Amino acid sequence: MSGSLTDTRARWHHRLPHWEVADRPHFITVRCAGSLPREVVARLREVHLRLAAISPESPEGAMLQRASFAICEKYVDQGFGFSPFTTPAAARIVLAHWADLEIRTGWRVSTAVAMPNHVHFILEPTRADPVPLRRMLAAWKGRVARAANLVLGRTGAFWQESWFDRWLRHEAERERVADYIVQNPVKAGLVRDASAWPWRIP
């Protein structure tokens, strides 16, 4: 697939620009609520306002999206704020809800990691008409939030409202992103070897 506009299944903007392209894998990052300091949230809001005024695939748009992702990663890798996935029962819920995703939605999680306060994963379509990405992710977030809040004995917001997504243009990019995901616990100083981190796929 070329990833041209004719391949687009959906585009929308909610804080961040989102773009679903047919027959392509998508890299997704979802943060937990309260996982960033207030001053960082304010900086991100400024970036997102600038993004809303321009085309996300323009050079400036691409630069701003990279900047937004880098700002988030710097802080979430420190385990700031609400970090439910330090509790094994909550981390297991994320893995369990990925396990049956393909049957219900036509999307398969090929690579994933649950970090203390965020998750990274690659979604790959396994049929021609998977459930729209926006609807699928909203439903997945809701199911995980309800189940995890229950085991944690809490109520209230679990996830940040929006998420980061990027459709992957070619196999080399998919491999690079997959390696980034797998190595994230090492980069964050949680383990020395990626294989030692239990909350991952594969």
pLDDT in tens, 142-183: 999 999 999 999 999 999 888 888 889 899 999 999 999 999
Structure tokens at 113: 């990691």
Cβ pair 19, 4 in contact under 8 A: no
50 in a domain, yes or no? no
156 in a domain, yes or no? yes
Predicted local distance difference test score (pLDDT) of residue 61 = 67
The CATH number covering residue 99 comes to 3.30.70.1290
Alpha carbons 148 and 91: distance in angstroms, whole number: 8
Asked whether residue 1 carries a pLDDT value surpassing 50, the answer given is: no
- pLDDT, one tens digit per residue, over 114-151 is 999 999 999 999 998 999 998 999 999 999 999 999 99
40 in a domain, yes or no? no
**pLDDT grade for 39, boundaries at 50, 70 and 90:** confident
**160, 172, 175: which is closest to 36 by C-alpha?**
160
pTM of structure: 0.80
70 burial via Cβ count (<10 Å: 0-12, 13-18, 19+): exposed
Contacts of 116 (CB under 8 A, 6+ apart): 79, 83, 84, 85, 86, 190
6 in a domain, yes or no? no
Cβ pair 110, 122 in contact under 8 A: yes
Residue 105 is part of which domain span?
A: 15-35+83-201
Predicted local distance difference test score (pLDDT) of residue 17 = 62
55 in a domain, yes or no? no
Predicted local distance difference test score (pLDDT) of residue 173 = 94
134 in a domain, yes or no? yes
173 in a domain, yes or no? yes
Number of domain units in the chain: 1
90 in a domain, yes or no? yes
